[in-house]
Amino acid sequence: MKGSSTEILKFIKEHPLQSSKEIHEGIKSVRANSTLKRQLTKLIDGNFIESEGKGKGTKYLLSPLYNLLYDVDIEQYLE
């Protein structure tokens, strides 16, 4: 997975239900909003994230499958 996709996933994990505009403002590795939207579509197609709503009201969150399968830092988990 590309670094920017990883950064997008991290941002969505820390800030669920954000719009593409809010995600774009929250991360700096993706310069163009159109690039971000393309990456969001790929993450949806890969079942990493889901979208809720339509048009300007679309918000993004991690998919249940991603939450089930993502890597867990055991040290951080046990704190």
Q: How far is CA 35 from CA 24, 29, 30, 31, in A?
A: 10, 11, 7, 7
Q: Are strands 59-62 and 49-52 parallel, antiparallel or unpaired?
A: antiparallel
pLDDT interval class at 1 (50, 70, 90): low
Higher pLDDT: 31 or 8? It is 8
CB atoms within 10 A of CB 5: 18
- According to CATH, the topology of domain 3-69 is Arc Repressor Mutant, subunit A (1.10.10)
CB atoms within 10 A of CB 32: 9
pTM over the 0.75 mark: yes
Residue type, 28: K
Average pLDDT in the 56-79 region?
Answer: 82
- Per domain, the residue ranges of the chain are 3-69
